Amino acid sequence: MGGREATMVLMDENGKRCDGRTVDEPRRIMIKAGGLKNADGSSYIEFGDNKILVGVFGPRDVHPKHMSDTDTGILRVRYHMEPFSVGERKNPAPSRREIEISKVIKEALEPAVMLEKFPRTAVDVFIEVLQADGGTRCAALTAASVALADAGIPMRDMVAAIAAGKVADTVILDVNNEEDQAGQADMPIGYMPNLEKITLLQLDGVLTPEEYKKCIQVGVDGCKLVYELQKKALNDKYFGNKGD
């Protein structure tokens, strides 16, 4: 973020972005509910060139037991990047970045999941990033929400996510890797579309107050598009005879 490759053309004179998209055009998004037979719920997402698999287990006993809560269930999230998921091999040891992303995804999902119905138990969400191309936390959060629903975990709403951002002084939807590296701002947003509540908001970069408001608006509109695809994934599995 912040012009590390200032010479790169992120937007041409026709307003087309480096991958040919218009300013408010998301990348191609494909979500599949189910797929992992040993998980209680699962999903797979392709979000542009991001490819991410999610497995959900639980509600189940908590080990070690002292981590359990007598009043409510707990949510545990592990976001993990495969060493081969990025151009330069990633060290397999958990990085600070993976620990941070696990935490923000957990906190973004908690308002949606009715954990209070399952005291003393844990719901575990395992996220495997097979291929990364910018925006993995949003793609992972979107897929995790589908996997939780697939596991039959009661939820108040889905959480849909996408990033807004700024390149060439223009607010854009769905920041790709080049735009993340060389652009001016990246703002991941997680949103519950029925409750109209934001559960994830981060900002890397600098925005004016007007740009900030526009990013929120563009991002929330993008989340509503993502939500339609989440519903489609679940409908395809449970009502479309296309699932497992």
Total binding residues toward ligand CDP, as defined by CB under 6 A: 12
State in angstroms the smallest separation of the CB of 68 from ligand CDP.
30
Can you tell me which of 41, 58, 135, 165 binds ligand CDP, judged by CB under 6 A?
135
Q: Does position 89 bind ligand CDP by CB under 6 A?
A: no
Q: Does position 137 bind ligand CDP by CB under 6 A?
A: yes
Name which of 73, 91, 72 is nearest 81 in CA terms: 91
Name which of 197, 172, 198 is nearest 183 in CA terms: 172
Contact (Cβ atoms closer than 8 angstroms) between residue 92 and residue 183: no
Residue closer to ligand CDP (CB basis): 58 or 205: 205
Segment interacting with ligand CDP (CB under 6 A) among 23-31, 59-67, 86-94, 109-117 = 86-94
Q: Does position 102 bind ligand CDP by CB under 6 A?
A: no
Residue 168 has which token pair? 């060439």
State in angstroms the smallest separation of the CB of 135 from ligand CDP.
5
What's the number of CA atoms in the CB half-sphere (13 Å) around residue 76?
15
**What length is written for the chain?**
244
Name which of 218, 232, 202 is nearest 136 in CA terms: 202
Binding site for ligand CDP (CB under 6 A): 86-87, 90, 97, 132-137, 177, 180
